[in-house]
Structure formats: C-alpha cells, structure tokens
Homo-oligomer: A and B are copies of this chain.
Amino acid sequence: MNTPSIDTPSIVSPRRAVVLLSGGIDSATCLAIARDAGFDCHCLSLDYGQRHRAELEAARRVAQALGAKEHRVVRLDLAAFGGSALTDRNIDVPTDGAEGGIPVTYVPARNTVMLSLALAWAETLESRAIFIGVNAVDYSGYPDCRPEFVSAFERLANLATKAGVEGRRVTIHAPLIDLSKARIIRRGSALGVDYGITVSCYQADDRGRACGLCDSCRLRREGFAAAGIADPTPYAA
C-alpha cells in the first residue's frame, strides 16, 4: 500500500473508489455498479462482531467474482457497545415481520462508522469516491439509510479531510438509495451479479445457508419474486 507524503501535491486517482461490501445483495450490486462505471474498486468489509462469519465469506467471494482491485476486512468490536440483535446474543432476531419503527437489528451508528473507515482509507488511497449500498425503500426504519444522512456525511467528509480542505471533493455514491429490492436485483442481474454467492440472512449458518425466516430473508425472497428472477439463495430449511 502506498504511503503518500502529505506535504507534496497529491496525485489523485479519480478512478479509484472505496466500496463498502457486506456480502449481501445491496453491496454486491453497488460494487457491480461502481465497476461498470469504470472505477478500480477497493472493497472494505467491517468485522463488527457479527453473529456469523458467513457474511464476511460472502464478501470475499463477491469481491473476487466482481473483479475488485482488493478486499480488506477491518476488525472492530461494535458488540462491546451492545444494543443490536445482530451483535448482541441477548436480543432475539425478529422473524414475524411485524415490528414497527426502528428494527432491533439496527446496529448503533453502523453506517456512520463504516463510512468513517471508508473515508480514512479513501484518504490514504487518494480516492475521491466512496460507494455504499444503502437503500431507503426497503429499510426505511434505519435512520442512517436515508438520503439526508448520506448528504450530511458527504458534507462532513469534505470538511474532515485534507482532500476536502485542498479542494478535491469526496463524493459519497449511494446508487441504490431510491431503488426497490426488485429493481436492485434486476440491475445487478443485468450487470452479471451472481446472487447465489451473496448472503443477506441475519442468522445464516456456517455454510452460508439462509434461515428463510428473518426479515432480511423475507425481503430478499419478495425481491426476487417481484423482479421475476429465480431466487438462487441456498436455504437451510
């Protein structure tokens, strides 16, 4: 990895992007879109103390399959802070699809933390582009999946960094923000994404097989149905 001098003028690589990659449908599609736009993609996954490793394995497969330049996993134990069913084993993952408001699967400040890390890496890569697969349609209960959140982060990024201070704007790309799950799946399929290697399930087993019951599985299944595309997800049951 290069370690640019901060005192000399920077050679910025406008075609280099940091892409946040969870290993699910959305981030895989986001990576395909970034590649299709001509970016060299440096993928970043966060190992935040997930209940299962299947997601990170999926991220690794997706990065490789979609021609990412590199894939790094940063370990950060968000579970130490508690508060989410995804990282805290004392909170059950809901399976009834009936909860209102903000889901208990919400990880505190997760997208803020992930974008911050992407920003740190983008700065050392001298990249001006960060891609995040957030989506305000299917996940409207999450405050950090909304367009105003993405805009506020972009504003912050350009105040927080050397690049911003020196007038080279960083852009946060959220190409899925207003797409339905069905449209995301159609878009990714057109770009050649193999969704059979992605994992969305909140509680996939060690072999990456989905539970078929959690909210994430339900949204995923409904998405394939609405897209009119066969669901390639390996289900445990």
- Hey, which bits of chain A sit against chain B, CB under 8 A? 1-7, 72, 74-78, 80-83, 88, 90-91, 99-104, 106-113, 115-117, 119-121, 123-124, 143-144, 146, 148-149, 152-153, 155-157, 159-162, 164-165
Contacts and interface: CB of A to CB of B under 8 A. Distances in A.
Number of copies: 2
25 contacts: A5-B104, A6-B101, A6-B102, A6-B103, A7-B101, A72-B80, A102-B162, A102-B165, A107-B120, A108-B121, A108-B161, A109-B116, A109-B120, A109-B123, A109-B161, A112-B119, A112-B160, A113-B116, A113-B117, A143-B161, A143-B162, A143-B165, A144-B159, A152-B156, A153-B156
A44 to B, nearest CB: 9
A2 B82 contact: yes
A174 to B, nearest CB: 14
A157 B204 CA distance: 31
Nearest to A121: B81
A74 to B, nearest CB: 7
A59 to B, nearest CB: 16
A72 B76 CA distance: 13
Contact of A120 (B110, B146, B156, B165): B110
B124 A83 contact: yes
A113 B1 CA distance: 21
A110 B160 CA distance: 9
B6 A83 contact: yes
A108 B80 contact: no
B149 A156 contact: yes
B83 A3 contact: yes
Given A109-B161, A143-B161, A162-B102, A120 B78 contact: yes
Nearest to A105: B6
Contact of A159 (B72, B108, B148): B148
A152 B149 CA distance: 12
Contacts of A160: 109, 111-112, 143-144, 149, 152
Contacts of A80: 72, 74
A106 B6 contact: yes
Contacts of A159: 143-144, 146, 148-149, 152
Contacts of A109: 116-117, 119-120, 123, 160-161
